[in-house]
């Protein structure tokens, strides 16, 4: 009888259901962050879907690779542009987005090294000068990305590089933001309040 009882105790312990014991659950990060998403014109980006990506640097570029997070924290901007992210661990992120009405397959990983590339300058006599401020440029292909209307470029004499833009990956997206030649990254802590703007909208 005692052997049967011990055998039952061992089985219950293996199953993790001994009285007074609860199975350990993996706790999920509980941070929240809210903000407003508007175009550079100040118009709310109503209905836009925002997605958090982690940033993984590599040897080829300080900008590295963007990766969707596990459980992919997302938010949708309301009619005033307000949004809220929930369930993430505090850190540095890139916010990618899909404007209202845009549907796109979201890749698990986005290499953004090519955004750092240079091209032959359209104004080789100008050096250290921001092009496109007075007369907005139309869409322009840039590697596997498209620079949306209104982007600016930085002339370095014979060459130029991307400076300020809303950038679309492929034909449908996702979209991301570049300022002063660098992909926009955002530091998010619990209860953060941020303003996120889209250059070309």
Per-residue pLDDT of 10-39, as tens digits, reads: 333 333 433 444 444 344 557 999 999 999
Locate the domains of the chain by residue range.
2-198
What pTM did the predictor assign? 0.80
pLDDT in tens, 72-103: 789 999 999 999 999 999 999 999 999 999 98
Instruction: Give the per-residue pLDDT at 67.
Output: 83
Instruction: Give the per-residue pLDDT at 198.
Output: 98
Helix (H, G, I), strand (E, B) or coil at 15: helix
Architecture of domain 2-198: Sandwich (2.60)
Residue 105 tokens, joined: 């397959």
């Amino acid at each position: 009888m005692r052997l049967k009882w011990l055998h039952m105790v061992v089985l219950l312990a293996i199953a993790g259901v001994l009285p007074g014991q609860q199975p350990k659950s993996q706790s999920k990060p509980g941070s929240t962050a809210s903000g407003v998403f508007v175009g550079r014109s100040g118009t709310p980006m109503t209905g836009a879907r925002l997605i958090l990506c982690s940033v993984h640097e590599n040897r080829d570029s300080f900008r590295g690779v963007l990766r969707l997070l596990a459980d992919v924290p997302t938010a949708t901007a309301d009619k005033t542009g307000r949004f809220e992210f929930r369930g993430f661990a505090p850190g540095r992120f890139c916010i990618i987005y899909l404007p209202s009405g845009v549907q796109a397959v979201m890749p698990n990983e986005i290499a953004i090294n090519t955004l750092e590339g240079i091209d032959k300058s359209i104004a080789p006599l100008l050096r250290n000068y921001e092009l496109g401020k007075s007369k907005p440029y139309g869409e322009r292909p840039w590697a596997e990305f498209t620079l949306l209307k209104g982007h600016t470029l930085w002339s370095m004499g014979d060459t130029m590089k991307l400076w300020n833009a809303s950038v679309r990956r492929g034909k449908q997206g996702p979209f991301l933001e570049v300022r002063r030649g660098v992909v926009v990254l955002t530091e998010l802590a619990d209860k953060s309040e941020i303003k996120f703007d889209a250059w070309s909208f």
